Amino acid sequence: MSARLLDGRDLAKEREGGLAERVNRLKSRGIVPRLVVLLGERAKEGVYFRAKERVGARVGIAVEGISVSDGEGLLKELNLLASDPAVSGIMVEAPLPPGIDPAAVRDLLPPEKDVDGGGIRSLGRLVAGAPSFPPATAAAVIALLDGYGIDPVGKDVVIIGRSLVVGRPLALLFLNRDATVTVCHSRTRDIRSKTLEADIVCVAAGSPGLLKGDMIRPGAVVVDVGTNPTPSGLVGDVDSGSVAEVAGWLSPVPGGVGPLTTVILMEHVATAAERMGG
């Protein structure tokens, strides 16, 4: 068996087209969607911020990066942006400068502008099933499966990783789609026994090559959310060579979840602008 690829690039292009139409309709009403990213002093040079700029330029969303060097400056900018009606979405991009309390930052993100769903209130709303913006990476996993007609209803899903950015919110999104979810982490005993029972395995542990082919059942769907820089480029958390021989579907790194993540973040910015504009 050789796994079919869950390639997110074509899906992302398709979504970009629809998003550009939404943005044009907003601009015809005098509304310009605007995303402001608060980041460390050199993060503007990073791949993730540049990806947001590129997608924003293609769909017509203004993307602005504001560099902060200390906690006082970050909290001041957050307060200003939260009350600025010209700002549709706010995102705080890790890593934060030293000495900044991540919990304090998350507490200040207003849910209506928290387009990457990182704030405490946004996550609480997701738990309660109330309207909110889920973290874009977690939402991209669901969008990738939907794009290939893979329905999680009634499926056994294993997620490896419990971060607030991917693992935990992704578990909630799968629960909202009526899947049965198991979350594994660094203290889980015998992860292999869990993954062998899964119809869908999502790996977001930050550990290159963690999931091997002998850890999944034949025909399983495997979504690799890992992005680990190496001298030869990005690699995922899945040992793609061995897993591809067993899985039915496998998302590549790069080119799987990543392209959809940025587009979905921009969709959230457009939605926030639509709501603010009435």
Task: Give residue limits of the domains in the chain.
Answer: 30-110, 135-257
The predicted pLDDT at position 217 comes to: 98
The predicted pLDDT at position 251 comes to: 98
Start-to-end Cα distance in the chain? 51
| Mean pLDDT rounded to a whole number for the chain | 94
Task: Note if the pTM is more than 0.75.
Answer: yes
**Nearest residue to 18 via CA among 52, 60, 49, 78:** 60
C-alpha–C-alpha distance, residues 44 and 66, integer Å: 8
C-alpha–C-alpha distance, residues 113 and 274, integer Å: 12
In this structure, whether the domain defined by 30-110 belongs to CATH 2.60.40.10 is answered with no
With b for 16 or more beta-carbon neighbours within 10 A and e for fewer, the 105-126 pattern comes to: bbebbebbbbbbbbbbbbbebb
Q: What percentage of the chain exceeds 70 in pLDDT?
A: 97
Helix (H) or strand (E) holding 222: strand 221-224
Domains 30-110 and 135-257 share a fold: yes
- CATH architecture for residues 135-257: 3-Layer(aba) Sandwich (3.40)
Whether 86 has a pLDDT exceeding 70, the answer reads yes
Please give the average per-residue pLDDT across 233-244, as a whole number. Answer: 96
The predicted pLDDT at position 216 comes to: 98
C-alpha–C-alpha distance, residues 226 and 254, integer Å: 9
